[in-house]
A and B are shown apart, each in its own frame.
Chain A
Amino acid sequence: MSAVNSSSNGTPKVGVYVCHCGINIAGVIDVKAVVEFAKTLPNVTVAQEYKFMCSDPGQELIGKDLKEGKIDRVVVASCSPLMHEATFRRAMAAGGGNPFLFQMANIREHVSWVNKDKATATQKAKALVAAAVRRVVFHVPLQKTQVPVNSDVLIVGGGISGIHAALTMADAGRKVYLVEREPTIGGHMAKFDKTFPTLDCSACILTPKMSQVRAHPNITLWTYSEVAGVEGYVGNFKAKIRRKPKYVDENLCVGCLECIEACIFKKGKFKDEFNVGLSLRKPIYIPFPQATPLVAVIDPETCAYFRTGKCKQTCAEVCERKAINFDQKEEIKEINVGAIILATGFKTFDAARISRYGYGKYPTVYTSLEVERLVNAAGPTGGEVLLPNGQKPKAVGIVHCVGSRDEKTNRYCSRVCCMYSLKLAHLIHERTGAEVYNFYIDMRTPGKGYEEFYDRLMRENVHFVRGRVAEISDWAMTPDEEGKLVIRAEDTLVGAVRRIPVDMVVLSVGLEAQPDADEVRRMFNISCSSEGWFLERHPKLAPVSTFTDGIFLAGACQGPKDIPDCVAQAGAAAAEALALIDRGHVELEPNTAFVQEDFCSGCKTCVPLCPYSAISFDTSKNKAAVNGALCKGCGTCVAACPSGALQQNLFTDEEIFNEIEGVVKYV
Chain B
Amino acid sequence: MSYIYFPGCSLRSTGRGYEESLLEVCRALDLPVDELEDWNCCGATSYMSVDESKAFALSARNLALAEKQAHSSSDIQMMVPCAACYLGLNKAQHYLKEFPDIRARVNKALSSAGLVYSGQARIRHPLDIFTNDVGLDKIAAKMTKPLKGMKIACYYGCQLVRPYADFDDQHNPTTMGKIMTALGAEVIDWPLKTRCCGGSLTGTIEDVGLRLSYVILAEAHKRGCDAIATACPLCQFNLECYQGKMNRRYGLNGTVPVVYFTQLMGMAFGLSEKKLGLKRLFVPLPERGAVAAEGGAHVRG
Q: A317 within 8 Å of B by Cβ?
A: no
Q: A622 within 8 Å of B by Cβ?
A: no
Interface residues of B in 211-255 (CB under 8 A from A): 215, 219
Of B169, B171, B190, B215, the residue contacting A477 (CB under 8 A) is: B215
Q: Are B192 and A356 in contact (CB under 8 A)?
A: no
Bound form: Cα–Cα A474–B192 in Å: 10
Bound form: Cα–Cα A291–B215 in Å: 53
Q: B144 within 8 Å of A by Cβ?
A: no
Q: Are B191 and A355 in contact (CB under 8 A)?
A: no
Q: Are A473 and B215 in contact (CB under 8 A)?
A: no
Residue of B nearest to A355 (CB): B171
Q: Are B191 and A475 in contact (CB under 8 A)?
A: yes
Q: Are A473 and B191 in contact (CB under 8 A)?
A: yes
Bound form: Cα–Cα A477–B216 in Å: 11
What residues on A are CB-neighbors of B169 within 8 Å? 355
Q: Are B219 and A475 in contact (CB under 8 A)?
A: yes
B interface majority secondary structure: loop
Instruction: Give the size of the chain A interface in residues (CB under 8 angstroms).
Output: 6
Q: B172 within 8 Å of A by Cβ?
A: yes
1/0 per position for A458-487, CB-CB distance to B under 8 A? 000000000000000111010000000000
Bound form: Cα–Cα A474–B222 in Å: 13
What residues on B are CB-neighbors of A475 within 8 Å? 190-192, 219
Bound form: Cα–Cα A356–B192 in Å: 11
Bound form: Cα–Cα A473–B219 in Å: 12
Bound form: Cα–Cα A334–B46 in Å: 72
Residue of B nearest to A472 (CB): B191
What residues on B are CB-neighbors of A474 within 8 Å? 191
Bound form: Cα–Cα A356–B194 in Å: 12
Least distance between B253 CB and chain A CB atoms (Å): 16
1/0 per position for A354-381, CB-CB distance to B under 8 A? 0110000000000000000000000000
What residues on A are CB-neighbors of B172 within 8 Å? 355
Least distance between A362 CB and chain B CB atoms (Å): 10
Bound form: Cα–Cα A17–B191 in Å: 79
Q: Are A356 and B219 in contact (CB under 8 A)?
A: no
Bound form: Cα–Cα A355–B173 in Å: 11
Interface residues of B in 169-196 (CB under 8 A from A): 169, 171-172, 190-192
1/0 per position for B162-174, CB-CB distance to A under 8 A? 0000000101100
Report the number of A-B residue pairs with Cβ-Cβ less than 8 Å: 11
What residues on A are CB-neighbors of B171 within 8 Å? 355-356
What residues on A are CB-neighbors of B215 within 8 Å? 477
Least distance between A529 CB and chain B CB atoms (Å): 28
What residues on B are CB-neighbors of A356 within 8 Å? 171
Residue of A nearest to B195 (CB): A475
Bound form: Cα–Cα A475–B172 in Å: 15
Residue of B nearest to A471 (CB): B191
Residue of A nearest to B189 (CB): A361
What residues on B are CB-neighbors of A477 within 8 Å? 215
What residues on A are CB-neighbors of B219 within 8 Å? 475
1/0 per position for B23-36, CB-CB distance to A under 8 A? 00000000000000
Bound form: Cα–Cα A355–B194 in Å: 13
Bound form: Cα–Cα A474–B169 in Å: 20
What residues on A are CB-neighbors of B191 within 8 Å? 473-475
Bound form: Cα–Cα A474–B172 in Å: 14
Residue of B nearest to A356 (CB): B171
Bound form: Cα–Cα A474–B190 in Å: 9
Bound form: Cα–Cα A478–B219 in Å: 12
Interface residues of A in 189-205 (CB under 8 A from B): none
Bound form: Cα–Cα A355–B190 in Å: 14
**Most chain B C-beta atoms within 10 Å of own C-beta, residue among A356, A474, A475:** A475
Least distance between B230 CB and chain A CB atoms (Å): 18
Bound form: Cα–Cα A358–B25 in Å: 35
Bound form: Cα–Cα A124–B163 in Å: 58
Bound form: Cα–Cα A474–B219 in Å: 11
Bound form: Cα–Cα A473–B215 in Å: 14
Bound form: Cα–Cα A475–B190 in Å: 8
Least distance between B215 CB and chain A CB atoms (Å): 7
What residues on B are CB-neighbors of A473 within 8 Å? 191
Residue of A nearest to B191 (CB): A473
1/0 per position for B81-97, CB-CB distance to A under 8 A? 00000000000000000
Residue of A nearest to B222 (CB): A476
Bound form: Cα–Cα A356–B193 in Å: 12
Interface residues of A in 140-191 (CB under 8 A from B): none
Least distance between B190 CB and chain A CB atoms (Å): 8
Bound form: Cα–Cα A329–B159 in Å: 59
Bound form: Cα–Cα A225–B176 in Å: 49
Bound form: Cα–Cα A299–B99 in Å: 57
Least distance between B251 CB and chain A CB atoms (Å): 13
Bound form: Cα–Cα A355–B191 in Å: 11
Bound form: Cα–Cα A356–B169 in Å: 12
Interface residues of A in 376-414 (CB under 8 A from B): none
Bound form: Cα–Cα A252–B171 in Å: 55
- Show 5 residue pairs from A and B whose CB-CB distance is below 8 angstroms, ordered by the A residue: A355-B171, A356-B171, A475-B190, A475-B191, A475-B192
B residues bordering A, Cβ < 8 Å? Answer: 169, 171-172, 190-192, 215, 219
Q: Which 9 A-B pairs have the closest CB atoms?
A: A473-B191, A355-B171, A475-B191, A356-B171, A355-B172, A475-B219, A475-B192, A474-B191, A477-B215
Contacts A355-B169, A355-B171, A475-B190 given; 8 further ones with Cβ under 8 A? A355-B172, A356-B171, A473-B191, A474-B191, A475-B191, A475-B192, A475-B219, A477-B215
